[in-house]
Amino acid sequence: AGKKGTSSERTFIMIKPDGVTRGLVGDIISRFEKRGYKLVAIKSLVPSRQLAEQHYADLSTRPFFKGLVNYITSGKAPVVAMVWEGKDVIRQGRIMIGATNPLDAAPGTIRNTYSISIGRNIIHGSDSFDTAEQEIGLWFGKPGELASWEPANWNWIM
Ligand code: RTP
């Protein structure tokens, strides 16, 4: 996940099928872009069962696990998987997303703005540096999948 605590820190963000179906991809990308974060990978896909189960492996004993995996693999809509880069992006991403239960999410966050249901909370974001490393490797593990780039005017963010 880049280097922790530096401007090359990276996080894994996934817009879930409900966010895609509802046409929120543009708004979500826009929030990260405008904040000053850099998009270094993006793809739209229907995850395989194996990928979804690996991604949510920590939750495998929870009662909602099966429903969660069924939902993100259903193919009714794809997910949009992304890697975003920048200072404190792992923690800031979680703040921008809001609490897991949208009913507890702070006003202005993505989940508060667009949802009222924990099982349809629009988006996922890595919750720590180690998780980010693991998730980026899982979703973008092939060589060349992450773009490193510097826009000409990047000095505005320093
Ligand atoms: P995420 O991993 O998706 O960013 O969410 P999170 O860390 O905020 O929450 P986590 O506890 O890891 O749960 C992962 C996802 O499982 C779904 N969930 N459903 N029906 C339920 O009671 C329930 N609880 C959790 C949510 O979609 C949550 O984002």
Nearest to 79 by CA among 115, 46, 112: 46
Give the distance (Å) from ligand 1 centre to CA of residue 100.
Answer: 6
Q: Which of 56, 121, 131 to mutate to test the pocket of ligand 1 (most atoms within 8 A of CB)?
A: 121
Tokens of 109: 């966050």
Q: Is the pLDDT of residue 157 over 80?
A: no
Angle between helices 25-35 and 89-97 (to 10 degrees): 140
What order do you get walking across the sheet with 79-85 strand by strand?
38-45, 79-85, 10-15, 123-125
- Whether residue 156 is predicted with pLDDT greater than 90 in this model: the reply is no
pLDDT tens digits for 7-38? 889 999 999 999 999 999 999 999 999 999 99
Task: Look at the block and give the residue holding tokens 């992450």.
Answer: 146
**Do residues 104 and 117 lie in contact, with contact meaning Cβ atoms separated by under 8 Å?**
no
pLDDT tens, 52-89? 999 999 999 999 999 999 999 999 999 999 999 999 99
Residue 16 counted as an annotated binding residue: yes
Third-level CATH fold of 10-146: Alpha-Beta Plaits (3.30.70)
Q: What is the mean pLDDT of residues 92-104?
A: 98
Residue 106 reports pLDDT greater than 70: yes
Residue 113 annotated as binding?
Answer: no
- Spell out which residues line ligand 1, taking CB within 6 angstroms: 59, 64, 68, 100, 118-119, 121, 124-125, 127
Q: What is the mean pLDDT of the chain?
A: 95
Q: How far apart are CA 40 and CA 82, in angstroms?
A: 8
Q: Could you list the beta-strand ranges (E) of the chain.
A: 10-15, 38-45, 79-85, 123-125
> Distance (Å, rounded) from C-alpha 16 to C-alpha 152?
32
Q: Which residue among the candidates 124, 126, 135, 136 is catalytic per the annotation?
A: 124
Ligand 1 centroid to Cα of residue 151, in Å, is 34
Residue nearest to atom 13 of ligand 1 (CA): 100
Based on the residue annotation, tell me whether 124 is a catalytic residue of this protein.
Answer: yes
Domain ranges of the chain: 10-146
d(C-alpha 119, C-alpha 115), whole Å: 10
Kindly indicate whether the ipTM for this predicted assembly is greater than 0.90, answering yes or no: yes
With 0.90 as the threshold, say if the pTM is over it: yes
Burial of 53 (0-12, 13-18, 19+ CB in 10 A): middle
